[in-house]
Amino acid sequence: MSSLAPLAIHSSQFPENVQRDLADSLRTGRVNHKFHYDSVKQTHQWLALHQAYSPSRADPDCAAVFDRSFEAAASRLEAAGRVHLIGLGCGGGQKDARLLRLLRAAGKEAYYTPSDVSTAMVLVARQAAIEVIGEANCFPLVCDLATTDDLPAILEQMPRLCPRSSSRITNQEPRIITFFGMVPNFDPQSILPRLAALLRPGDHLLLSANLAPGQDYAAGVQRILPQYDNAPTRDWLMTFLLDLGVTEPDGQLRFLIEDDPAATGLKKVAAYFQFLRQFEIRAAGQGVKFRSGDSLRLFFSYRHTPALVRSVLAPHGLHVLAEWIIPSQEEGVFLVCRSS
């Protein structure tokens, strides 16, 4: 195994653009979620948090549900000899690695593009994948999905950009695109058109959604609030502010449940830092002033029901082929394609 790890970095994550996005986050009072994964420390905090609170780790039934979704996606590509797996928001890549093993066991040559806004995350996912498919078939990509307008073209180019890639891969291989744990952290009206634009005929999308358990949606969202309002999550979110010079006595972190302003019927958990005294944060050579009582939204996470997942996907030409819900009803996996 080489001691070098080639990867592509999209201009959305070039320093000048990251600084611009940081300044915009502070000016608008809405922090781009990517800044919570910016450092190695934050990456490790998130991985530990995910291990402790995510149903996919804490609930043994969740792994079985994901595995069933992997088998269903693979079964739709029985005639394909090669498959390109694209992990959007790949995180640590553990789920993608399980899917790659399944594809390999089915006799397919698998290629993988782990993509995330965090370089550290991409490298973790790459390491998990190359143990299954080797370095030559892995094409890592660092980009900000929210601002990368040319992602469809970039994904077409990725195999050719990797110096160790096989000359046999073309752009005709069917693709499975995974989007695990990401749907909750984007406004539906901003992310769903981007996902729809990525899907070609023959491609399949596997996405997971955090769900509100029970028959009463509002009560279900209230029930899962402790998965967010806890010490590890607070420490993870506060790292962003501490790195900018804000200290805990400068304000207080609070969690709220809000309705989606786009009237989709969705609710979300949101975390705000409310300043208790005047404070100025400098970013990209600019000073952004906060007065006592001002709030900065650090984070949000939508909670769905299976019916709400289908209803928000449909207007964007995304059709749910199958779904798998864990017994606790706190997470679901959905196999999606473009409507014909």
Lowest average pLDDT, out of 45-54, 175-184, 260-269, 310-319, goes to 45-54
Q: What is the pLDDT of residue 282?
A: 87
Instruction: Tally the C-alpha atoms within 13 A of residue 303's C-alpha that lie toward its C-beta.
Output: 26
Asked if residue 2 is part of any domain, the answer here is no
- Cα-Cα end-to-end distance for the chain: 43
Quick one: 14 and 124 in the same domain? yes
Quick one: 93 and 57 in the same domain? yes
Residue 39 per-residue DSSP state: S
Q: Where are the alpha helices (DSSP H) in the chain?
A: 15-28, 40-53, 55-58, 60-75, 94-105, 119-133, 151-161, 188-198, 217-223, 231-243, 306-313
- Give the number of domains in the chain: 2
Quick one: 205 and 245 in the same domain? no
Q: How far apart are CA 42 and CA 239, in angstroms?
A: 7
pLDDT of residue 167 exceeding 50, the answer is: no
Mean pLDDT of 279-299: 92
Q: What is the pLDDT of residue 1?
A: 63
Quick one: 17 and 44 in the same domain? yes
Q: Residue 241: which domain range?
A: 217-303
pLDDT of residue 163 exceeding 60, the answer is: no
Percentage of the residues of the chain whose pLDDT score is greater than 70 = 94
Are 140 and 82 contacting, i.e. CB atoms less than 8 angstroms apart? no
Torsion of CA 171, 175, 180, 108, to 10 degrees: -120
Asked if residue 277 is part of any domain, the answer here is yes
Mean pLDDT of the chain: 91
Quick one: 186 and 327 in the same domain? yes
- Residue 248 CB contacts under 8 Å (≥ 6 apart), including other chains: 238
Asked if residue 67 is part of any domain, the answer here is yes
How far apart, in Å, are the Cα atoms of 95 and each of 24, 36, 229, 330, 332?
33, 21, 26, 18, 14
Q: Please list, residue by residue across 180-198, b when 16 or more beta carbons sit within 10 angstroms of its beta carbon and e when fewer do.
A: bbbbbbbbbeebbebbbeb
pTM above 0.85, yes or no: yes
The per-residue pLDDT for range 83-106, each reduced to its tens digit, is 999 999 998 899 999 999 999 999
Q: Counting Cβ atoms within 10 Å, is residue 200 exposed (0-12), middle (13-18) or buried (19+)?
A: middle
Quick one: 229 and 312 in the same domain? no
pLDDT of residue 11 exceeding 50, the answer is: yes
Asked if residue 104 is part of any domain, the answer here is yes
Quick one: 199 and 242 in the same domain? no
The per-residue pLDDT for range 212-238, each reduced to its tens digit, is 999 999 999 999 999 999 999 999 999
Asked if residue 278 is part of any domain, the answer here is yes
Mean pLDDT of 10-24: 94
CATH value at residue 178: 3.40.50.150
Q: Find the farthest-apart pair of alpha carbons in the chain and give their distance in angstroms, rounded.
A: 63
- Residue 295 CB contacts under 8 Å (≥ 6 apart), including other chains: 29, 272, 273, 274, 275
